[in-house]
Amino acid sequence: MVLSLLKRVKGHINGEPISKAKIQEFSIIGPLSSMLGPSGRITLASLKYYFQESSREDFIEFVQNPVLAGSALTPERLSVADQLAEETNHNNNNLFKKNRTTVVNLDDQISKKTGPGTSLPYAIYPLIKRTDTDSPDHSFTIGRTKNNDMSMQDMAISKTHAVIRCSNGAFYIEDRGSTNGSRLNGLRLTQKPEKLKDRDIIELGNYEFTFLYPASLHDLLSNS
């Protein structure tokens, strides 16, 4: 499946149109679904490949939906982020066996530098449904357990931490009663949906992500 997607991109570069039937605007089911890792991430290497091999317009069309980019993914650090962003599932399997979320001090910067979630600041999560989850088509669930679309393997994250919903072309986020909370641009979220804007800062427990539309993601890669 990945090879067929790469062929589609290369074909599009050579003048062949991407099939519109397979791309539903503002749907959380998109062409990158089959390329997601087991936690819902896409590798930085894959995104860099599309960026280098396609025009800005083609990149935006293919990525299609926004992404959540970890706080460490700045232009200055993108050149060394590929290796650090690799999945570390073999070290984190025991997390799924624990039932209680760890309470963290959100002001403790040291907690962001150690532990099983070390790679999370380098992660990129497209708002794309994983094929092995059973959440509604227009809901993107976030939590610690494997059945979430965005699985964050860290005990500071609740089993069901937050959810992003797609409605009428817009994206909304709400907390799901998590232990350590969620924040949008510094303000604590409740179970009331809040509309997301490009470059909004989302905090989940003690991890920070930037909400980027494909054009802004392209700009980030352009500046690296």
Name the one residue in this structure whose structure tokens are 């991109």: 9
Q: How far apart are the first and last CA of the chain?
A: 29
Per-residue pLDDT reduced to its tens digit, 188-213? 999 999 999 999 999 999 999 999 99
In this predicted structure, which of 32-36, 55-59, 90-94, 155-159 has the lowest mean pLDDT?
Answer: 90-94
pLDDT over 70 percentage in the chain: 67
CA angle 67, 69, 70 (to 5 degrees): 155
Per-residue pLDDT reduced to its tens digit, 9-45? 555 444 444 444 333 434 556 667 778 888 999 988 8
3-state class (DSSP) for residue 22: helix
In this predicted structure, which of 21-35, 110-124, 169-183 has the lowest mean pLDDT?
Answer: 21-35
Q: Are 70 and 207 in contact (CB under 8 A)?
A: yes
Closest CA to 163 of 188, 127, 197, 214: 127
Examine the pLDDT at 7 and tell me if it is beyond 90. Answer: no
3-state class (DSSP) for residue 209: strand
Angle, helices 214-222/44-53, rounded to nearest 10 degrees: 90
pLDDT for residue 125: 95
Q: Please, which residues have CB within 8 angstroms of residue 33's CB and are 6 or more apart in sequence?
A: 128, 129, 130, 131
pLDDT for residue 165: 93
pLDDT for residue 98: 58
Measure the CA–CA gap between 168 and 82, rounded to whole angstroms: 34
pLDDT for residue 197: 97
- Phi and psi, residue 144, nearest 5°: -85, -30
pLDDT over 90 percentage in the chain: 42
The structure's pTM equals: 0.75
